[in-house]
Every structure is written in C-alpha cells, then in structure tokens.
C-alpha cells in the first residue's frame, strides 16, 4: 500500500548526514515521498573544528513557502509532518502554522480519521546536560508544540527538561512517559537513556560489552474517548564508542516510517528502528579515523540494505 507523503522541516548540510540529509534518504528507501524544507543551509554541521557557512530560514520565509505550496494544491496528500532541530522561537511557532494548515487542508478533503496529518516531533534541545538551543524553547515545546504532536522522540536530557523528572531508573522513565502522554502525544519514544538499574537479561547484549543504553517506547491506546490503556517496551543496546551526529534525525525518520507501515505493532517497529540504527552506527564506527570528525559522518549510503531490510538484532521486552 502506498504511504502518504511526508513534509520534513529540518536542517540541511552540503557535506555530511544530519537533519534532512539523515532523514530523507531512509524515508524514501522505505517507500515514502518526501517534500523537504531546509530550515538552514550550511556547508557542514556545527561540530567541525573550523566552523561553517550558510544561511538560516526565518519564520516568515517558511510561511511564504507554505503559501506557495497551498496555492498550488501541493499540500494535499501529505500525511506526515517531521521536524527536528529548530533554533528560534519564531521559527518554531511558524512550524505550528504549517501543521495547522496541513491538518486544515487534509480535513477539507476528507473528514474521516484517515485525513489526520500525523506529526512526529523530535524536540531537539540538547544532550548530556548541555543546551544547544535557547532555553526559552523548552516551554514552547512543552506548552504549544508537543500538545499537537502524535509522536515525540526526546533523548534523556530533553525528557528531563520537558517533564522536570530526573530519570535514573525504569520507574522514573515510566513517570516521565506518562507526563509526556499527558501533554498530548500517544507515542513517546525515548531515543537514549542511561538507567542505573539496567538489567539486560534477554541475551541481546553483546558479550563483554561494558555499558548499554536503553531505548524506551510508550504508547497510549485509546479504545473510547473515556477508555485508554498504555504499553511500554524497552530495548537495551550496547554503546558504540564515539560521537556521531545525525543519529537522532535518522531515528525519528525510521520511527515515522516503520510505525506508519505497522501502526499496531510497536515492538516490531521498535526492533526494526534499533536494528538499523545499531548497524549504521557500527558501520560508521568501523570506518572512522581517530581525530577525524569528517570520518564520523553516518555511513547511510553504505547502509542501504540495513535500512530497507532491518537486521533482527534486538528483542523488545514489555515493561508495562
């Protein structure tokens, strides 16, 4: 079955694989047409030692692009909105205008539930205790953006900023997921989290691996307007040493694709996402050179087969 088109609003780099460069190719391999808005157009990602050059799209420019698409009837058939790094409050609020317009256009063409435009929001704010966006975006994400999202994909730092809950163990993770569900999204996918009480006994952890990272997926299932239940799944993955850029962008894109293709099977989607992620990062690590940031760019093209046919490396276990 043909999948609905994706509108992806993320950063773009000429060299490397972050933002749209890390998201569009995998989605296309999974069978999705993708319309692309580049929130920035940079020479390279910002982690390179000698800086970067390029331009930044502002909110009014984004609205102008939206108007051009709508006038030409080109928003019809869009079923998904994907967003990643957004560096300013004005652009973030312009993204909300895009979402509202997409949903209005879809509803005007089809009033059934099939017309809903699904919003996958990666609330990129920082990592490892450090912000790389203005801190004012935390409240905007929490109060304005995430309530309109269907799927949210934060890392541990972002979860803690959004919920105020310090996540140290699985009980904390459950509380944090419930808090995020209460904001609006039915699917919460914590892309990376270090748990102090980590217990990996499912035979998936590579032997002699010193550390693992947990990935948590929590879904709210609505049976009736007043009846709902929750399911939560966990995968523990060995940590591959190194600092890799674009992994969150790739993860959000894969999650969008697999959950759209298998909407009722969260553990299967999760296993495919993490199987591909681990394979891409491992391949990147194996070909990287010490001290070379350029060599740490994700090996997406070389991982084409792992994206199209995710390897079965991990088994999700139910924790709720």
Residues assigned a catalytic role: 249
Phi-psi region of 184 (alpha: psi -120 to 50; beta: other; left: phi over 0): left
| DSSP labels, 2-70 | PPPEEEEEEEEESSS--THHHHHHHHHHTT--EEEEEEEEESS-TTSTT---EEE--HHHHHHHHHHHH
CA dihedral angle for residue 21, residue 162, residue 121, residue 180, rounded to 10 degrees: 140
- How many CB atoms are located within 10 Å of the residue 291 CB? 7
- How many CB atoms are located within 10 Å of the residue 96 CB? 15
Is residue 126 classed exposed, middle or buried when 0-12, 13-18 and 19+ CB atoms within 10 A define those classes?
middle
Name residue, tokens 């307007």. 225
Q: In degrees rounded to 5, what are phi and psi of residue 308?
A: -70, -35
**Rounded-to-integer distance, Cα 49 and Cα 29, Å:** 32
- How many CB atoms are located within 10 Å of the residue 296 CB? 20
| Beta-carbon contacts of residue 88 (< 8 Å; ≥ 6 apart) | 58, 59, 134
Nearest to 219 by CA among 181, 162, 170: 181
| DSSP labels, 207-219 | TT---EEEEEEEE
**Rounded-to-integer distance, Cα 319 and Cα 234, Å:** 7
CA dihedral angle for residue 270, residue 273, residue 279, residue 280, rounded to 10 degrees: -150
């Amino acid at each position: 079955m043909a999948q609905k088109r994706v509108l992806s609003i993320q950063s773009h780099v000429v060299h490397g694989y972050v933002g749209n460069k890390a998201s569009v190719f995998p989605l296309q391999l999974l069978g999705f047409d993708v319309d692309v808005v580049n929130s920035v157009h940079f020479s390279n990602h910002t982690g390179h030692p000698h800086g970067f050059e390029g331009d930044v799209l502002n909110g009014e420019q984004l609205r102008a692009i939206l108007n051009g698409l709508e006038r030409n009837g080109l928003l019809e058939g869009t079923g998904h909105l994907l967003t990643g790094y957004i560096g300013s409050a004005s652009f973030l609020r312009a993204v909300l205008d895009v979402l509202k317009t997409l949903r209005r256009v879809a509803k005007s063409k089809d009033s059934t539930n099939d017309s809903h435009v699904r919003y996958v929001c990666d609330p990129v704010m920082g990592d490892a205790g450090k912000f790389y966006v203005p801190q004012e975006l935390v409240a905007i994400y929490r109060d304005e953006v995430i309530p309109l999202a269907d799927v949210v994909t934060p890392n541990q730092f972002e979860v803690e900023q959004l919920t105020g809950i310090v996540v140290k163990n699985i009980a904390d993770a459950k509380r944090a997921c419930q808090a995020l569900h209460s904001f609006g999204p039915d699917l919460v996918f914590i892309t990376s989290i270090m748990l102090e009480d980590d217990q990996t006994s499912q035979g998936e952890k590579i032997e002699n691996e010193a550390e693992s990272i947990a990935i948590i997926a929590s879904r709210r299932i609505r049976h009736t307007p007043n009846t709902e239940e929750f399911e939560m799944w966990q995968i523990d993955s060995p940590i591959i040493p190194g600092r890799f850029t674009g992994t969150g962008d790739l993860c959000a894109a894969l999650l969008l694709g697999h959950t759209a293709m298998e909407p009722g099977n969260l553990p299967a989607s999760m296993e495919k996402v993490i199987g591909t992620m681990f394979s891409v990062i491992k391949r990147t690590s194996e070909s990287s050179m010490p001290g070379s940031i350029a060599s740490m760019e994700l090996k997406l093209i070389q991982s084409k087969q792992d994206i199209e046919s995710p390897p079965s490396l991990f088994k999700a276990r139910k924790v709720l």
